[in-house]
């Protein structure tokens, strides 16, 4: 699930919220959707934290400080290959 974009995760979360708010789902399906929403929420939080770290690094580099590469840069490049 970590391969979804932030935008995809948010869109899916919105869809799940609408389904749950309608109250038409059987209990088991509602629980499955809720679990999926929790996972999507966590993935979204991770992606936002990664973006925040990158922005922070870029701002520090702009100030002339040398920083090590972001830890997930290697993972991102490996996943894109």
Which pLDDT tens digit goes with each residue over 26-59?
Answer: 999 999 999 999 999 999 999 999 999 999 888 8
Question: What CATH number has the domain spanning 6-62?
Answer: 1.10.287
**N residues, the chain:** 81
Structure tokens at 24: 């038409």
Cβ atoms of 20 and 30 within 8 Å: the answer is yes
Q: How far is CA 42 from the centre of its chain?
A: 6
* Cα–Cα–Cα angle for 45, 19, 24, rounded to 5 degrees: 145
Q: List, for residues 2-16, the tens digit of each pLDDT value.
A: 688 999 999 999 999
The pTM score is 0.68
């Amino acid at each position: 699930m970590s391969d979804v974009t932030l935008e995809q995760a948010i869109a899916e979360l919105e869809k799940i919220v609408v389904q749950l708010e309608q109250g038409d789902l059987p209990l088991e399906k509602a629980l499955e959707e809720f679990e999926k929403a929790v996972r999507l929420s966590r993935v979204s939080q991770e992606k936002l934290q990664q973006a925040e770290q990158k922005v922070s690094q870029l701002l520090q580099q702009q100030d002339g400080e040398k920083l090590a590469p972001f830890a997930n840069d290697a993972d991102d490049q490996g996943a894109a290959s």
